[in-house]
Amino acid sequence: MDLSYSNINLFPSVIHQFDVNDFDEMQNQLIDYVYKMREKDPVGNSISNRGGWQSKSFSVVNEDDILHLFLINYLSEFLAIKKSVSIKADAWVNINKPGDYNVKHNHPFCNLAGVLWIKCSENCGNIEFENPNLFQTYMESSDIDSKKKGEIDYYTNDFNIKSNIYPTYYFNPIEGRMIVFPSYLYHYVQENKSNQDRISVSFNIRLD
Amino acid sequence: MDLNYKTVNLFPVPVHQFDVNGFSEIKDKLIDYAYDCKKKDSKGVSISNRGGWQSEGFEIINEDDILQLFLINCLSNFPFIKESVKLRGYAWININKPGDYNINHVHPTNHLSGVLWIKTPKNCGDIIFDSPYEFQAYQEIESYSNEFKDSFNIDHNYYFNPTEGRMIVFPAHLSHHVQENKSSEDRISVSFNIRL
């Protein structure tokens, strides 16, 4: 039979990725800023963090504050969002020591969430997102190799790779990179297996 | 601030679209086949169809049957299913008269579902898929620019205009409905479920 085939991928979960050039000029100032925050409030918050220190959350509004301004500048470049929509962000700082991690969670009561990576050495822990359709599309794998890789079993590997269809998808943290993702998307941060602190700033965004 | 921006689009819902070249050669035979089926069982079954006639389901196995052979030939050309995976299909015929439609539904206990459009006059009713994230992502979707949404097929729903000789296959969990047939002629299609 003479067939033409095409594939249309609907309703993806979009991860927005921003990379700031010349981040190293700013990095040490932000690291100092974070450790000073922890000195002022060494207990911090305990939510998804296991072992790690998490600051109290704060509204991102103060242009005189180095971290606020940095985030404001990032988010002002969010061109996918209509100009008529206001972006309100609440942020908090995370310091995961070696051995610390974050359990699986999502971010209710907001529309988008994100993270800016400030200090991340090798093996300090990827952020890993879960496929929200995994339950509905699961098929028992007959292939041990597939189980190890965790592929959706009935599509070919080429198709899954081309379409970003996996049970989970991880991002390796990169200093100066910020990702913004739908707040319904479950995710976790792997254990920090480096010998240095992993420092990041997380935030929630409400769109009005 | 000097920024580089890109998106990574994760976990989409893939819809597979097949267009049969030379469909007009077989179309009339399939139309006759559908009406013959209706003659033999004028009551049919009632599931998501409102007003329309729907045949009993049948397994797609008989290569001596014109419709089943057509579906077998289409599905045997499914390019991205692993060779080790077997497809078992169950199909049924739909005839939506003017004014008929299908309410929102999913196809539980199956992996994939699909439809082959046989006769589709203008305005006979699009098939509309709902975003699985309609509730969770409502405000996110509303906030994206139209250009951004169009680029990545992000919206509250997505419709396909039925085209004769076209078959689409989609995940069985994806909620969808068929709009009212606003033409003056019957809308004829074959739906099917696939277990892998």
pLDDT tens digit sequence for B3-36 = 899 999 999 999 999 999 999 999 999 999 999 9
Q: How far apart are CA B60 and CA A118, in angstroms?
A: 57
Question: Rounded to an integer, what distance in angstroms lies between the CA atom of residue B134 and that of residue B49?
Answer: 24
- Six-digit token pair at B112? 């994939």
Residue A163, both tokens:
């379409």
Place of tokens 């952020």: A127
Name the percent of chain A lying above pLDDT 90.
75
Over residues A65-83, the pLDDT tens digits come to 999 999 999 899 899 999 9
A132 shares contact with chain B (CB less than 8 Å): yes
Burial-class residue B150 by CB neighbours within 10 Å (0-12, 13-18, 19+).
Answer: exposed
Cβ proximity of B70 and B158 under 8 Å: no
Task: Tell me which chain A residues have a C-beta less than 8 angstroms from the C-beta of B176.
Answer: none
Name the band, by pLDDT with cuts 50, 70 and 90, for residue A145: low
Domains and CATH numbers, chain A: 16-131+167-207 (2.60.120.620)
Among partner residues B3, B82, B154, which is closest to A14 by beta-carbon distance?
B154
- CB of B190 within 8 A of CB of B91? yes
User: Quick one: which of A31, A194, A177, A57 has its CA closest to A117?
Assistant: A177
**B-contacting residues in A 45-64 (Cβ below 8 Å):** none
Rg, Å, chain B Cα set: 18
Cα separation values, A156 from A163, A166, B47, B82, B97, Å:
11, 12, 33, 5, 39
Q: Of all residues in chain A, what percent carry a pLDDT higher than 70?
A: 93
Could B82 and A19 be called an inter-chain contact, meaning their C-beta atoms sit closer than 8 Å?
A: no
Q: In chain B, count H helices and then E strands.
A: 4, 13
Question: What's the pLDDT score for residue A141?
Answer: 45
Using DSSP, how many helices (H) and how many strands (E) does chain A show? 5, 13
Which residues of A are less than 8 Å from B144 in CB distance? 80-82
Of the candidate ranges A101-110, B143-152, B173-182, the one whose mean pLDDT is the lowest: A101-110
Quick check: A139 contacting B, CB < 8 Å? Answer: yes
Q: What is the pLDDT of residue A147?
A: 46
Q: Is the pLDDT of residue B140 over 80?
A: yes
- Are residues B82 and A156, on separate chains, in Cβ contact within 8 Å? yes
Helix axes A66-75, A24-40, angle to 10 degrees: 130
Nearest to B30 by CA among B56, B64, B65: B65
Outline where DSSP puts E strands in A25-153.
49-50, 53-54, 58-59, 87-96, 101-105, 112-119, 127-130
Do the Cβ atoms of B133 and A182 come within 8 Å?
A: yes
Give the model's confidence band at A148: pLDDT under 50 very low, under 70 low, under 90 confident, else very high.
very low
Beta bridge partners of B194: B89, B112
Q: Does the distance separating the beta carbons of B154 and A12 come in below 8 Å? A: yes
Give the integer Cα–Cα distance in Å for B178 and B96: 10
The least confident of A42-51, B102-111, B145-154 is: A42-51
Please check the confidence at residue A5 and state whether its pLDDT lies above 90.
yes
pLDDT in tens, B29-72: 999 999 999 999 989 998 888 999 999 999 999 999 999 999 99
pLDDT tier, B83 (very low <50, low <70, confident <90, very high otherwise): confident
Which amino acid does the sequence have at A187? H
Interface test mutation site (partner B, options A1, A3, A9, A11, max chain B beta carbons within 10 A) = A11
**Chain B closest CA to A127's CA: distance in Å?**
14
DSSP SS3 for A97: coil
> Looking up tokens 């397994």, which residue turns up?
B59
Predicted pLDDT of residue A140: 53
DSSP SS3 for A95: strand
- Return the residue matching tokens 């439609």: B101
User: How far apart are alpha carbons B89 and B81 in whole angstroms?
Assistant: 14
Contact (CB, 8 A) for A119 and A196: yes
Cα three-residue angle B48-B104-B78, rounded to 5 degrees = 85
